[in-house]
């Protein structure tokens, strides 16, 4: 009797597993391509708040965990030598208290990206066997801004995603500074520099922001002539908190206002209500994402086996992307935040769909009839801000026609 119950129980259990497996296989959507834009991990601050309790940013905070190490190389987009890195050089010109440079990826940040890689592994290798379990250069394209923290973040994500298993050296591609499209490029776009410089200076003088800034400087005992703003204060505050370093007690009271005002500033700077501004920020990047999708569908890519594009970027990349997609939640993207675009094909109709998620949450894009957005609707939504290279350069070089912004 017990044997029969045991047998029946195991049969029932087996049928449950079969049903779950079968249900997964019967999803009407078949995954075809993944593109992930992700922010680097926790880092040292870009600047310290002047005149306040110093944090010790010591080299011991930067040690790389053994499980994040892989065999990798950094090249230009064509596989040649890594281009010069003027942005990185500007960080290296300064030293923080404790002896490290501004903007360096820390051990905490390395682990955050490794963990993001593990999450992607669970989703795209274990739950849905889409990617090969070890790194395959034909399947995976990795591109980073030419800054050490994003390059190292890409390396750590790949280590987590493929558990340090690789068929060949991992190439991380990067572009020269003046041609970079993975963040709003003030150096490569004259009109953007003109506009953003003006809006950045203006943002701290807006009445509400200026009043709060004056109050916080007074609370912290910062000299009123010191040039600080809420983005700088937030950056230092979050970096300290993430690494368990001391925080001036006055900041505790101001935490939510600092978060809000930093976002208010960035919204003023990017001015997302003006289409042209977001086109200059993310136009070429949106064009790149659309081209990857189109190449996959048409079979026009030189790498037909490509399944995953990884882009290692910044908070200043993700925010204008979210604004342009119409899903910005008015919160500063945390370290290791990601925007993921998945391309699907319907098994019955063969129609294509795109699904967008942000930090693991599916997003319904305005202009899309569903979370699984029909491709023509997604392309129409992206086309508002996507710009081919020639249109982007024409817009950027029209600075001479805009003497006042």
The catalytic residues are 40, 315
Helix (H, G, I), strand (E, B) or coil at 339: strand
**Helices (H), ranges, 26-167:** 86-92, 107-121, 148-162
- In angstroms, the CA 21 to CA 11 distance is 15
Q: How far apart are CA 363 and CA 355, in angstroms?
A: 8
Half-sphere exposure for 61 (CA within 13 Å, toward CB): 27
DSSP sequence for 291-312: HHHHHHHHT--S-TT--EEEEE
Selection from 310, 379, 325 nearest residue 154 by Cα:
310
Tokens of 128: 């849905």
Q: Which residues pair with 143 in a beta bridge?
A: 173, 311
Please report which helix (H) or strand (E) contains residue 74, including its range: strand 72-75
| Separation between Cα atoms, residue 85 and residue 178, nearest integer Å | 10
Grouping H, G, I as helix, E, B as strand and the rest as coil, residue 193 is helix
User: CA-to-CA distance for 173 and 83, rounded, in angstroms?
Assistant: 10
Count CA within 13 A, CB hemisphere, residue 104.
22
Question: DSSP characters for 72-96?
Answer: EEEE-TTSSBPPP-HHHHHHHT---
Count the Cβ atoms, other than its own, within 10 Å of residue 242.
Answer: 17
- Say which DSSP state 405 is in: -
**What CA–CA distance (Å, rounded) separates 238 from 247?**
10
Pairwise CA distance, residues 350 & 366, whole Å:
24
Place of tokens 């497996």: 21
Retrieve residue 56's tokens: 């010790």
For β-strands 352-358 and 338-346, DSSP reports them as: antiparallel
């Amino acid at each position: 009797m017990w044997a029969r119950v045991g047998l029946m129980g195991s049969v029932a259990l087996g049928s449950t597993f079969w049903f779950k497996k079968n249900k997964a296989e019967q999803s009407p959507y078949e995954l075809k391509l993944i593109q992930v834009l992700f922010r680097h991990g926790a880092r040292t601050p870009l600047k310290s708040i002047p005149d306040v309790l110093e944090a010790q940013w010591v080299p011991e905070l930067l040690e790389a965990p053994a499980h994040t190490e892989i065999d990798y190389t950094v090249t230009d987009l064509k596989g040649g030598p890594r281009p010069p890195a003027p942005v990185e050089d500007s960080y290296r010109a300064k030293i923080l208290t404790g002896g490290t440079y501004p903007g360096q990826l820390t051990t905490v940040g390395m682990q955050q990206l490794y963990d993001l890689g593990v999450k992607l592994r669970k989703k795209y290798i274990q739950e849905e066997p889409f990617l090969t379990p070890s790194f395959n250069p034909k399947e995976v394209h990795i591109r980073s801004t030419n800054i050490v923290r994003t390059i190292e973040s890409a390396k750590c994500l790949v280590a987590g995603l493929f558990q340090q298993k690789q068929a060949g050296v991992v190439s991380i591609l990067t572009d020269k500074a003046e041609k970079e499209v993975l963040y709003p490029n003030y150096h490569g776009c004259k009109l953007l520099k003109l506009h953003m410089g003006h809006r950045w200076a203006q943002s701290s003088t807006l009445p509400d922001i200026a009043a709060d800034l004056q109050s916080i400087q007074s609370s912290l005992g910062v000299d009123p002539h010191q040039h600080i703003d809420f983005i700088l204060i937030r950056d230092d505050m979050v970096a300290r908190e993430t690494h368990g370093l001391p925080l001036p007690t006055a900041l505790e009271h101001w935490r939510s206002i600092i978060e809000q005002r930093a976002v208010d500033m960035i919204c003023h700077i990017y001015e997302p209500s003006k289409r042209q501004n977001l086109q200059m920020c993310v136009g070429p990047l949106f064009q790149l994402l659309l081209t990857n999708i189109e190449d996959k569908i048409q079979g026009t890519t030189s790498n037909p086996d490509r399944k995953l594009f990884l882009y290692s970027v910044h908070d200043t990349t993700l925010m204008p992307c979210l604004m342009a997609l119409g899903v910005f939640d008015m919160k500063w993207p945390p370290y290791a935040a990601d925007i993921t675009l998945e391309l699907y094909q319907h098994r019955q109709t063969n129609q294509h769909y795109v699904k967008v998620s942000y930090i693991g949450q599916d997003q319904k894009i305005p202009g899309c009839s569903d979370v699984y957005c029909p491709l023509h609707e997604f392309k129409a939504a992206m086309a508002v801000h996507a710009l081919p290279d020639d249109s982007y350069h024409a817009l950027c070089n029209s600075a001479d026609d805009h003497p006042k912004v």
